[in-house]
Structure 1
Amino acid sequence: MTEQSAAVSKSLRTENPTGVQITLDHVSKTYPGAKSPAVDDVSLQIPAGDVVVFVGPSGCGKTTTMRMINRLSEPTSGKITIGDKDALSIKPTELRRSIGYSIQQAGLFPHMTIRQNIGLVPGLLKWDKKRIADRVDELLDLVGLDPAQYAGRYPRQLSGGQQQRVGVARALAADPPVLLMDEPFGAVDPITRSSLQDELLRLQSELGKTIVFVTHDFSEAVKLGDRIAVLGQQSKILQYDTPAAILANPADDTVAGFVGTGASLRQLGLVRVKDIDLESRPTAHLGDSVDALRAELAAAEHDWAVILDHRERPVSWVREGRLRQANIVDDVAEPLNELISIQATLQDALEAMLAEDHASAVVAGAGNRYQGVVTLETLITTITHLRHTPNAPAGVDSTDVEP
C-alpha cells in the first residue's frame, strides 16, 4: 500500500478510535455433511478503528466469515483474536453482547418499543434503568431520531430507513469496540440507502469503531471502506487493500470484474464533499421580500438562489426570472428534491445532479444546515485529477489539472 493510499484510507477516521484490532488466523468453516469448506483457510488483519468491507458474489462465504467473528457461526479450525482476547475462549453469549450486530431490515423485535429494542443488550448486561434510559436517548439523538417522538413507538410505526437507524443504534447500545454489519442497507430504496451510508460515515468519524461490513455492492464498498477485502469462493482473499488501490490496480480479472468499466466514475466515491471547496450561491429565507434577492442576483454570476428556513436548512430554490412575478420568495420557489450531505461522496453528488437535471447540487452539513453547492465542473476536474493520480488523497485542488 502506498503512503498516499494509506492517507485516503485514514481520511474519515477519528484521531482516537475506540475500536480494537481483529485478526483471523487460518480460519475455516466446514458444515456437517459438506464435502468442501464454506470458508477455507482465511487469514486477515482488520486494524483498530477501520471500516473493512467484505465484498464478493453471493454464496462466496463473506457473511459466514463475518459471523465467525462473533461466533454466530462456529469456526471449524483456526484462531480469531479480538483486541488481545482469543474469541474462541469467551462464552458465545458473552462475546455477542460485547460486539454490535446490525443486519438487513434491522431485525427489530416487533412487540418491543424502540426504547426497549435499543436497551435490550444493556439490560442483559445489568445496567441500571437510568443509565439505560440515558443511553437510549443519546443514541437516538446520535442517529438523528428525536427520543421524545420515536422512543415509545413500535417498529411497524417507522419507515424502513428509520428502522435501520434504530438497528444501528441498538448495535451501538453497549458501546462495543466492534460492529458487524451484514448488508444493513440492502432492503431500502437508493435515496434512503445513500442517506444511511452518510449517517454511518458521520457516526464512524465520531466513534472510531472497528466495523466489518458485508455487501455485494462494490460502489457501497468504495464509499464506506477504509479497506476492501474482495472475496472469491470459499472466502479466498483475491485482494485486500484501500479502495483507491483496488480501483487503480485490480489484482486479477475477477477483481477487475467487480470494479467494472466505470473505474473513473467510481473514483468519485473516494472523495467526500467535505474534502473539496464548495461554491456559494445567493440565499434568502422563507417569507423574505424578493427585492433584496432580486438585486443580489442581478449583481451575481449565477441566476438562481437557495431558499432557507429559520434554522438555515435549504428547502427550495428560485430562478431569477421568476422573481419578477412575486412579492415574497415563497410564491415562486421550487422544491429542492435532491439534497446531499457533507459526508456524501462526489459520486452521490453526480447522481443528485442527474436526478435534478441540474449542473450543481446543494449541500447540507450538521443539522441539515446549508453549506454551499458542488458543481458538475468540480466533478469533471476531480475525475481528471484522479485519472492522472489515482492514489491521490482526498481533497482535490482544481488548480492541479488543466481544465
Structure 2
Amino acid sequence: MSDAPENPVSPEIPDAPVAHIPWSAAVARRLERHALAEPPADAPAEAPAEAATEGAAEAAARVAATLCGAHAQVLSAAELSLAMRLPGTAATRTDIQRALWTDRTLVKTYGPRGTVHLLPSRDLPLWTGALTAQQAASANGGAAATDYLDAGRTDEVVAAIGDALADTELTVDELTEAIVERTGAWAGERVMDAFQDKWPRWRSATAVAAHRGALCFGPNKGRRITYTNPHRWLPGFTPYEGDVALAELVRRYLHAYGPASPQHFARWTGAPRGWAAGLFRGLAERGEIQPVDLAGTPAWVVAGDTALPAEPPRGVRLLPYFDAYSVGCHPRDRVFPGRAAERALAGGQAGNFPVLLVDGTAAGVWHQRRSGRTIHLTVEPLASLTTAQRAGLDAQAQRLGALMEGTVRLTVGPVTVGPHA
C-alpha cells in the first residue's frame, strides 16, 4: 500500500471544539509515548515507576502493548525495538527472547496489515476480536474467504489448524500432513504462488487462523519455523466482541501515534479507508475521540488527550528495520522530510531501512554486520551532526552493542546495503 502524502479528511462532527497542536509538540508526544524521548537534563536518573515491580518479561509486554505491537518480519529487529525501550540499560535481545519463548508474555503472530508482529499475550482477546472484525469489514460483511479457499473450506482449515496445534509445535510440512488428515487432500494441493514455488492451498488461510486465535508462531526447529496454538500462551481466552475490540484498538493507536487521521489508521491496519472513516465517525459521535488541528491538518486524538510535553523533541536514536515509530507515524513527508524520503523510504514505504532518528525526525540510515562478538555499525547521516548529536550517536552505538551482547565498531559514512525486501 502506497505511503504517498495525502490530505486526510476527518469525519464531519458539527460544532466540535478543536485544539491546535504544533508539529514539534506532536513529535515530542510521540517520542515520549514510544519510550524514545531523551529526558530533560535536570530529570532524576531513575527508571519509570513500573520498573520497580516488574521483570523484563512484563516490561516487554507493557512496551509492546503501548506500541500496538512490534513488527517482527525480521525477528531480531523486533527484539531490538522492544529491548531499546525497556527501563534501565541492562536489557538485551535475550530478555525479549525469554519473554517470547519461556515466560510467554509475548506472542509472535499475524497482526496489523497481516504482517508478523510481537504482541502481548494478555492482549490476544483484543487483537483477535479486532482483526477478525476488520477482516469481515474488508469482505463487506461476508465470511472470510481467500483466493484459494471459499468461506466454508476456510472454516474447515482454521478448525483443523486449531486442533492440530492444540498442544504441540509443528513445522509447515508437519502441519500440512495434519490438516490434510483432518480435512482432505484438497487442503494440501500445491496451488498457491509463493517465492517461485507453490505452497499448499491451506496456507492461504494462515493469517485468518491467526486472527481467529487458532495459530501463532512457535520456536524454530533449526532453521524451520513452527506454528502452535496461542491458547498455550493464554489458556481459554475468548476474542472480544468486534465493536468493543475495534474501539479499544483505535484508542490505543491514537494514544501512540496520534494525532492521526482515519486514513492513517486504515494504512496502519491495512483496512479500507471508507470503513476506517466510518469507524472514527462512530467513535466521535459517542464522544470517545475528538478532532484536533495538527499543524493545519485535521486529525484525531482520544477524547481529552490533548496535554503536550513541555520539552521539545530531542535526542538521537537508532531505530531498527520496521520499527513501530518509523512505520506508524504520519504524515510521511514530515517524519521523512526532504532527502530522508529518498534515502530512508523504499518506494514510499517505511521500515525497509534502519533509521537514524534525530529529534524525532528521520535524518539518516544505518546498517550493522556481526562478526563473532564484534558488531560493525555504519551510520549515514543526511546532514552534519552537531557535537551533541555526535555524542548521542556514540551513546546509541554503545547501547546497540549492549542490546546485542557484543562490541560495536562505529563508522560514520555511506551505507551501501539496499532496502530489506
Q: TM-score, normalised on structure 1?
A: 0.27
TM-score by length of 2: 0.26
